[in-house]
Structure 1
Amino acid sequence: MTDENTTVPARPRGGLLRYVVAATLARTADGGAVVAIVLLVTASGDPGWLAGALGACITAPHLLGPFVARSLDTTRDGRRVIALASVVHGATLAAAVLLYPSTHAIVPAALLIASGLLGPLLTGGISSRLPAIAGPSRTSQRRAQGWDVATYGVGGTVGPTIVAAVSAWASPHTSALVLTLGTFIAAGFVMLLPYSPPASDARDVPRPARTLVVMFSSGPLRRTLYLTMIVAFSVAALPIAAVASTDQLGTDDAAAGVLTAAYGLGNLAGSIGVMARPLEGNADQLMTRLATLVATTLLAVALAPSFSLATAAYAAAGIANGYFFAATLAARNEYAPSEIRGQVFVWTGALKITAGSTGTALTGAIVGTAVHLPLVLAIALTTAAALTSASERRFVTRQVRAADHVQPGTVRRD
């Protein structure tokens, strides 16, 4: 990372604004696609299991995203890879929607798998372009990461909202086609981003499996990976916990929407906070502290005795997760070797989505046993991950100090 006082070439103006537009449009489409598919199937009168299966066809392939992400680090112009991914993502989604239900379900399923495979390039892939746009200083980088967190929040909220509104006004088919239009516009904005050359020769860029080994071998990247996954797994319990807890809070089921909205608004508030006052300090340590804060807010959610306090706790959890997410983006940027930065962003994003989906599924399976059991599990896992990361760092620090204290072949002078 370049020092604040170092003279560097001026960055093209307007790059961050174009980035925010491109990222928001792409992530809105990615966030709303599943809802559109589920509504499309149910509106056609087909069974719920088919809706779930086709929805999984567009979400499950995210885990394979890293295996198409190497091109981000090898191509002469990564913008072209992301723009093409955005266009193909939209085109295959549109084709699946237009062919359903006039063809056998396997045809739209295959198209949705192709669309989902490119999803990580619209999430982590686009984020990998941000360091070259934000400017050289750590402050400008971290402020820009606040904007990036906001695009995820807006995309995840606005996407399903657009689908619901357009479906009610026109049809689920139309809502899905609106999303695909957004991906085409996003591709245009991606190509308007400032050009940045590849960080290294393509021959020096490791394959996806090797990249994952490098990430596990690096302490900061390893901690980034497992903290990101466990926090994503944990906060995924909140929407289902909101529905399950309404009886205990003395409200009806519709109030669960208020709780989840409070969480979403809190997440957006956290990203605004990072924009206004960028995170300071070591990203590795920040992740540990903020993961602990997330666990604390989850505890507040579990213990909230009234609906108003629960709403405040959900908002606090959203704020904490917004700050935590910004810290993980900073860690990916600051600790990833330049030759695999794109793959690191996509690997982390893909595994985060997988962990979140697992958390949602597990919460739905066990919440009937005890309302607060998913939250208790989430608190325990997040706290354990934070403690593990802190212990890892302390162990490494002690080793370094011991090595510095006594060097072989030197004479101590104390």
Structure 2
Amino acid sequence: MHGFGRYLAAALAARFASEGMAMAVVLLAVERTGSAAHGAFVLTAWLAPHVLAAPLAGAAAARARRPRLFHVGALAGFTVAAAVLAALLGRAPAPLVLVVAVIGGSCGPMVTGGMSSLVTGLVPAGAGRDRAYSWDASTYNAASITAPAAVSLIAALLSAGPAMALLVVAGALAAVLAATLPYGDPGAGTPSSGPRAGLGAGLVALWRIHELRAITSATTLAFVGIGSLTTVSVLLATRLDSPGAGGLLMTAFAVGALAGTLALGRITAVPPGRLARWAMAATGVALAGASFTTSLPVGVALFAAAGVCDGPILTATLRIRSQYAPDAVRTQVFTLGAGLKVTAASLGAALVGLAAEAPPRVLLAGISVLLLASALLHALVAARGPAAAGAATEPSEGSARAPFGPRTPAGP
């Protein structure tokens, strides 16, 4: 596990910067222009490139002769774009600001899935790597809790400018730490060794390898619901006569997710596909219960329970990508998976915006239905793969790297 501690620090710093961008951009726009809508447009420009840039970023990372330079450069590009946005937002022409946001957002897939793809090169295969992905997933949860809170607090005490500066410092720290990491795969050569995959190879792998297809389709559908949860939590809190408690509900969900990641995400006795499926179903059940509550404390408890159930999903997803993605397209698989989830979450947020007049309980029930449907979708897709024929062993490192031939299933 040489360098894994530094990796976790780099990942946490990078994801802290990424998670804080949404709130910081909106607060900065309101502070300088008086319009939250302006901030929303800039944020959309920041998020929109994720799914389009994901295959490009993944293919470029796989082909990079100097992977250290590429990964550090992506983090540096993210950081510089955030710094330029902090300087220009509300002061420069909107088209220029949007262009900068698009450039910065194009680096986003390397901050999320791109960094997770490095774990394979830091930790040998086996239970240790499974635990490593649990820790990696916890950096997302920890960042989702701390970044918005830190941005809000600094903006309230000082202004949105210093809050944005904090994110820039975090991004710079991530880039510096990433420069110190070893960029090699124990027993598999460097990320750039071996045959080079084409631009669409990651999409082909996601479709042809049934374990990847099952988890990607299921989590993408789930994130249509998860992406709308923040807005729905605000609406639900208002319905419970506590208009300011939407943040409390989401904080409970995020804290629960961190706890679930650290506790349940380490389970290695259960195949990761099955763990993800159960976790999606349990999250849906907990949110369904929250849709019927008339008490804020009960709602907070159920959101926390839903978060605990949601926590293992990311860990299981990362394990599946690591086990089944061929070496040549591993980074593409990670970045594409992350890009699809961000896009799905954006779609969910847009859909709930269109349906905002509906009763909050109905909207929350709809989210729970999406999560239950995700669990069912995973079961159906997984059942159609080789695992259904009776082979239920974990893939060996060699079989997991075979480009696109027959694969040994994980038996989710």
Alignment TM-score, normalising by the size of structure 1:
0.87
Matched, 1:198 2:190: yes
User: Please, which of 82, 99, 108 is the counterpart of residue 88 of structure 2?
Assistant: 99
Aligned to 1:354: 343
Which segment drifts farther, 111-120 or 74-83?
74-83
User: Please, which of 272, 290, 295 is the counterpart of residue 262 of structure 2?
Assistant: 272
Q: Equivalent pairs: percent with the same residue? A: 26
Offset, 1:355:
0.7
Aligned to 1:186: 174
Matched, 1:222 2:210: no
Offset, 1:247:
5.1
1:40 counterpart letter in structure 2:
L
In 2 relative to 1, CA 221–164 (structure 1 residues): closer, same or farther, beyond 3 Å? same
Q: Is the 8 Å Cα contact of residues 143 and 274 (structure 1) preserved in structure 2? A: no
User: Please, which of 231, 238, 242 is the counterpart of residue 229 of structure 2?
Assistant: 238
Offset, 1:200:
5.9
**Distance in 2 (alpha carbons) for counterparts of 1:23 and 1:357:** 23
**Distance in 1 (alpha carbons) for counterparts of 2:174 and 2:238:** 43
Aligned to 2:156: 168
Offset, 1:189:
0.7
Q: Is the 8 Å Cα contact of residues 127 and 148 (structure 1) preserved in structure 2? A: yes
Partner SS for 1:297: helix
User: Please, which of 26, 41, 50 is the counterpart of residue 53 of structure 1?
Assistant: 41
| 1:280-328 Cα deviation digits (max 9, x unpaired) | 2322222222222222222122233422221111001111111111111
Aligned-residue RMSD, C-alpha: 2.2
Q: Is the 8 Å Cα contact of residues 227 and 287 (structure 1) preserved in structure 2? A: no
Aligned to 2:15: 27
Aligned to 2:362: 373
Offset, 1:46:
4.0
Q: Is the 8 Å Cα contact of residues 142 and 274 (structure 1) preserved in structure 2? A: no
| 1:378-409 Cα deviation digits (max 9, x unpaired) | 2223222322322333344587369xxxxxxx
Matched, 1:158 2:151: no
**Distance in 2 (alpha carbons) for counterparts of 1:46 and 1:374:** 30
Aligned to 2:398: none
Matched, 1:68 2:60: no
Which segment drifts farther, 155-164 or 54-63?
155-164
**Distance in 2 (alpha carbons) for counterparts of 1:288 and 1:228:** 10
User: Please, which of 306, 309, 317 is the counterpart of residue 295 of structure 2?
Assistant: 306
Q: Is the 8 Å Cα contact of residues 99 and 108 (structure 1) preserved in structure 2? A: yes
Matched, 1:256 2:263: no
Aligned to 1:123: 112
**Distance in 2 (alpha carbons) for counterparts of 1:153 and 1:299:** 22
- Greater Rg over alpha carbons, structure: 1
**Distance in 2 (alpha carbons) for counterparts of 1:293 and 1:126:** 28
Q: Is the 8 Å Cα contact of residues 297 and 313 (structure 1) preserved in structure 2? A: yes
Offset, 1:164:
1.9
Partner SS for 1:195: coil
User: Please, which of 307, 311, 315 is the counterpart of residue 304 of structure 2?
Assistant: 315
Offset, 1:183:
1.1
Partner SS for 2:48: helix
User: Please, which of 304, 307, 325 is the counterpart of residue 336 of structure 1?
Assistant: 325
**Distance in 1 (alpha carbons) for counterparts of 2:327 and 2:78:** 27
1:271 counterpart letter in structure 2:
T
Q: Is the 8 Å Cα contact of residues 65 and 117 (structure 1) preserved in structure 2? A: yes
Partner SS for 1:76: coil
Q: How many residues align?
A: 386
In 2 relative to 1, CA 392–35 (structure 1 residues): closer, same or farther, beyond 3 Å? closer
**Distance in 1 (alpha carbons) for counterparts of 2:232 and 2:87:** 36
In 2 relative to 1, CA 198–169 (structure 1 residues): closer, same or farther, beyond 3 Å? same
In 2 relative to 1, CA 18–391 (structure 1 residues): closer, same or farther, beyond 3 Å? same
1:296 counterpart letter in structure 2:
V
**Distance in 1 (alpha carbons) for counterparts of 2:231 and 2:257:** 17
2:203 counterpart letter in structure 1:
L
In 2 relative to 1, CA 193–372 (structure 1 residues): closer, same or farther, beyond 3 Å? same
**Distance in 2 (alpha carbons) for counterparts of 1:389 and 1:119:** 27
Q: Which runs of 5+ in 1 are unaligned?
A: 1-10, 403-414
**Distance in 1 (alpha carbons) for counterparts of 2:16 and 2:181:** 19
**Distance in 1 (alpha carbons) for counterparts of 2:238 and 2:162:** 37
**Distance in 1 (alpha carbons) for counterparts of 2:44 and 2:385:** 41
Q: Is the 8 Å Cα contact of residues 34 and 59 (structure 1) preserved in structure 2? A: no
Alignment TM-score, normalising by the size of structure 2:
0.87
| 1:17-69 Cα deviation digits (max 9, x unpaired) | 11111001111111112222211111113433222111211111112221222
